Amino acid sequence: MTLQGKHIVITGPTAGIGRASALSLAADGADLTLLCRSPEKASALADEIVARGGCTPRVVPLDMASLASVRQAAADCLGLDRPIDILLNNAGAIYTRRQLTVDGFEETLAVNHFAPFLLTGLLLPAILRAPQARIVNVASAAHAFVRGMQFDDLQAERGYRMFREYGRSKLANILFTRELARRLAGRDVTVNCLHPGAVTTSLGSQNGGIASRLMPLLLKPFFKSPEQGAETSLYLCTSDAVADTSGEYFVNCKPKRPKPWARDDEAAKRLWQISEESVGFQYPL
């Protein structure tokens, strides 16, 4: 698929696989809208894209830990009055301790699931305006860290375990992908998710202090480069081979069956209902 002139909205584009994805998509002629927490970093990335011969990206502030910010970012995107050909939900976070967002949600689940769930729903009118649009969600093999959503303690109030909560949020990404694909069946929009591999990124840096230094050391044996980690995201954004594929989970640019609890359609429907109630938004589907 040619990207020339395609409008691509990407979250978390200033570091790691998000940055690698943005640079590659821009180099192929895409017109990018960058949603990120740091306008300064986004402006620097925009300057780099232009210096490499790409179109000037738009920068939209987005704090994934605030539903109000998500709503404003979506409004800013819709205000462009342009169809969205591809939405790449790339941003993610992991936290060493339990903390709450301004909306009162456990932050890992809020940033990794509630925020992209709400953002995607709000942007759906612009996505549906595009011919053959694509939604790509960056999930993770970390969904194997849990054996289900554990709906009785979604907010980890009975004890917080960093990798468990991260894994649960990534499981939510896969279940969200499956249910959204089901709801969009028959429309010209595909929805897929992926495991990028453990990548040398800034994931975990939001913890600050020693945690931000230890996280890369813990994951180092499994690291890929950001460019390698971005390969499957880029494949799902651009390949003609997946033009008619929806609701799938990909690893190394190939479909792969996730764990059984990530294929639980009843859990996906339950998570959808909880998510709509939590973020205060009902999908128009």
Three-state secondary structure call for residue 138: strand
Q: What are the structure tokens assigned to 13, written together?
A: 């584009």
Dihedral (CA of 205, 208, 213, 214) sign: negative
Active-site choice (166, 235, 249, 283)? 166
Dihedral (CA of 82, 88, 91, 94) sign: positive
- How far is Cα 49 from Cα 51, in angstroms, rounded to an integer? 5
- How far is Cα 77 from Cα 230, in angstroms, rounded to an integer? 24
Element (H, E) at 276: helix 265-279
Place of tokens 């612009």: 126
- How far is Cα 192 from Cα 27, in angstroms, rounded to an integer? 23
CA 145 vs. chain centroid, Å, equals 19
235 is catalytic: no
Q: Apex CA 227: angle with CA 138 and CA 133, to 5°?
A: 45
| Residues in a beta bridge with 35 | 11, 60
CA nearest neighbour of 197 among 173, 168, 231, 165: 231
CA 185 vs. chain centroid, Å, equals 21
Catalytic residue IDs: 166
